[in-house]
Chain A
Amino acid sequence: MLALIKREIQDHLVYFIAALASSAALIALLSTAAFHFERPGGDLFIGLTIPLIVILVIVFSAMGVTQMYLDRNRRISAFLSTLPVTRSRILTAKIITGVLAILIVLLPVTIAAVALRHLLLPSIPVFANLITGFVTTTFLMLFACYCLGLLTGWTASKITPTFGALGLNLILFSLIIVKGFGPEIRLLLVLVIAACLIRTWHKFTSTSL
């Protein structure tokens, strides 16, 4: 399994580099916003995180699409199946790689947000629930978009994974505007993730190689 994960990381290194760069950018924006919040235009830096998160949604969806599209069209799984590796393990390795990439973005940002809160605010429960809500919902949203990419990427066509995934991801992202960051959206995202993963697993393990 470790060898599979390592192989996936090497094959999709560009996404991990993009994740690191995004994480650094988000930390920079949050820090600037925190230290300049009371000045005019200070909240602009908070506003700039929104397009960055939209870009991350597209990037992780593209990662899922790329993983499955390349696998199908280059017959990577067919080759790996000649080794003592099951298709479920191959798929699990891909998913773990996706989760790692998302965590590379979110973990440093979360640590920075908590550190800023302790540094700049007194020890009263200000913004505690906000940080937890944002981070959890953002993780689930990015993972759901990644799973949508996995689902739409397993095809020989080029149009479906490109435009289909993009359209579905933008519709899914609008769920944040409708439902906010509360428990309702988290439940919906968990259901989307479960449905996508079950369908992907079924397609991946039952398609002839």
Chain B
Amino acid sequence: MFLSLSLFLASLWCKSILAGIMPLDDGTVSLTPSGLLPDERENDPNIAFQSTVGAHIIRPEASPALGIANHLGNRIFESRHVRIWYFSLPGEDSSWLYLDKSSGQINCRWTDVQRMPDGTSTRKTVQLYIGPEGVSEIPDRKLGRFTSIIEDMSETHLLYDRDLRRFFRLDLRKRTITKGPQLLKDDLHKPADIGILAKNRTILDLYWQPPAMKKSQDDEGRVSYPPPPLIREGYSTYQPDRYVLVLDESGRIDLLDTETLEFAGTAGYLPAPQTLFHSKERVTPDDLLAYRVIPVALKEDHKYRGMIAAAVSREGTALTLAVFDEKGVLINSRQTMGKSSGDYRDVPSSSTFFFGAPWAPVMTIGKFALENLHPPILSLASYFTASTFEAGSGHRALFLLPNSFIGMNGRDARQSFLEKLLSAFLLMGPSIILALWLNWRVGKDAALVGLSRKARRWWMLGTIAFGLAAYITYRLSRPKVTLVTCANCGHPRRPDMDKCHRCASQWHVPDLTPPPWRVLDSAREN
């Protein structure tokens, strides 16, 4: 474990340097015009700048995916992963909205401030308990029970209960809860998120800008225009009125009609970033380190016009931006690109991340060398399990490494199984050679020290499987005895064993018998 932790920290250092020297442009992508507005609007002579969609990777080293940041992000009360959705504590006016798992009901409290005609204000605390069957001011079993819900944290207060398989719309002011129709048992929809669709927001930024109108023209012909706003998710002025986005577990994004609480068609899907090894065409939320999706509407009519989506690859090295129209058809998409070091042609950013910047190849080789110090058996397991892990967890993995080169190779969607396996063994080549060399050393030392044949065999097998870790363990735990020379075979033998472990000879203890000859004193005898 100490070896894995040390290798992880060293690898993190290499990755941080690679992220730091990566050119900023390699992590940025934009589309102008966005394609969401009609051509006549984009090409209007009164337009100073056309609509733009842009995204960029803020932190390629994915520090928010590290354990402590991830743990705190998932535990603070306003996170989507905990029961508490809203909480504020200004003295007596404290308010909250959370799901009480023991009762299965949503508990809501806020303070109503009412202005009286005489200028004074009255404060009234409102406490509500909400279940799938209704809303009440006192806890009541008849309200029913929510079990496993996902919710929209914006003002619409939409919920989906996975066990009840229905959507609910909550209106706190009117104190009502509206049930949508239940999804059929064979329905393919499996909602994973509603409303604000985003993961690891601090890693990725996504925005769009509406067209900028010309405001005025001065005597010299210079045109001024008000700067268009950068619209991100939750910008209510540009939110569609009738629809919200629902992310499916398959990566598809659907439209939900907030009036009828039924699906109203497909809005698009999460785009697949192009990684160093060719990735699959369709990705799920777990396959991406970060994503953001924004529905697009204009403030004059709030009509749904389409959506934009950006996604960052597992390793944090590539970003894809995609624009979909109101029918869910892909209008345009773009990957992050960089310049190759030799001929300056455009190559995917996942390639320039590892090889593009000065010293990047050195850091990449360092990262590759560190990965090859891992136990070969764990490297092989990383190859087979690379696709099964959630993307963020790969950045804090100690033993199975889905973001290693061998893990990335395991996710290569282009090669056949045999081709992938062959390239996996090539990538593991240094690791295998190291394991074989260490295995030879362990075998030689174990024979010297006099371990039994069975013990030697287990240590050798362990060294082949676990490489450097097993070798270090062997060196720390091998018997520490001073060897003596065997009188029979002349090789070192252990003094604490009855027989020599090489020639099986016993200890030669000379007999205490007198010799047959005597030394006589002739003078005394005479």
Where the two chains meet, the residues of A that have a C-beta atom closer than 8 Å to any C-beta of B are 121-122, 124-127, 129-130, 133, 168, 171-172, 174-182, 184-185, 188, 191-192
Contacts and interface: CB of A to CB of B under 8 A. Distances in A.
A192 B398 CA distance: 14
A172 B2 contact: yes
Contact of B396 (A133, A168, A178, A192): A178
Interface string B86-106: 010100001010101000000
Contacts of A127: 77
Nearest to A182: B71
A174 B84 contact: no
Contacts of A178: 5, 8-9, 66-68, 396, 398
B70 interface: yes
A177 B5 contact: no
Given A168-B2, A171-B5, 14 more contacts: A124-B84, A124-B98, A125-B83, A125-B100, A172-B5, A175-B5, A177-B66, A178-B8, A178-B9, A178-B67, A178-B398, A179-B396, A180-B68, A184-B67
Contacts of B209: none
Given A122-B94, A126-B77, A176 B68 contact: yes
A48 B142 CA distance: 49
A133 B75 contact: yes
A185 B67 contact: yes
A133 B8 CA distance: 24
Contacts of B82: 129
Given A179-B67, A180-B70, A126 B9 contact: no
Contacts of B107: 124
A122 B94 CA distance: 9
B9 A174 contact: yes
A167 B83 CA distance: 40
B2 A126 contact: no
A124 to B, nearest CB: 6
Interface string B58-80: 00000000111111100101000
B497 interface: no
* Category for how many chain B residues contact A: 20 to 34
Q: Sorted from nearest, which 3 A-B pairs have the closest CB atoms?
A: A180-B71, A180-B67, A179-B67
B1 A188 contact: yes
A129 B75 contact: yes
Interface string B271-284: 00000000000000
Contacts of A191: 1
A192 B94 contact: no
A46 to B, nearest CB: 11
B6 interface: yes
Contacts of B89: 121-122
B424 to A, nearest CB: 26
B126 to A, nearest CB: 15
Contacts of B8: 178
A182 B5 contact: no
Contacts of B96: 122, 124
Contacts of A174: 5, 9
A178 B100 CA distance: 31
A175 B4 CA distance: 11
A171 to B, nearest CB: 5
Nearest to A179: B67
Contacts of B66: 177-178, 180
A124 B82 CA distance: 13
B5 A125 contact: no
Most chain B beta-carbon contacts within 10 A, residue among A122, A127, A172, A179: A179
A125 B87 CA distance: 11
A135 to B, nearest CB: 14
Interface in B1-53: 1-2, 5-6, 8-9
A125 B98 contact: yes
Contacts of A129: 75, 82
Nearest to A188: B1
Nearest to A192: B1
Nearest to A127: B77
Nearest to B393: A184
Contacts of B2: 168, 171-172
Contacts of A168: 2
Contacts of B75: 129-130, 133
7 contacts: A122-B89, A129-B75, A177-B68, A178-B8, A180-B396, A184-B67, A192-B1
A79 B269 CA distance: 74
A131 B94 CA distance: 22
B446 to A, nearest CB: 19
B68 to A, nearest CB: 5
Given A133-B75, A180-B72, A126 B67 contact: no
A177 B395 CA distance: 12
A181 B68 contact: yes
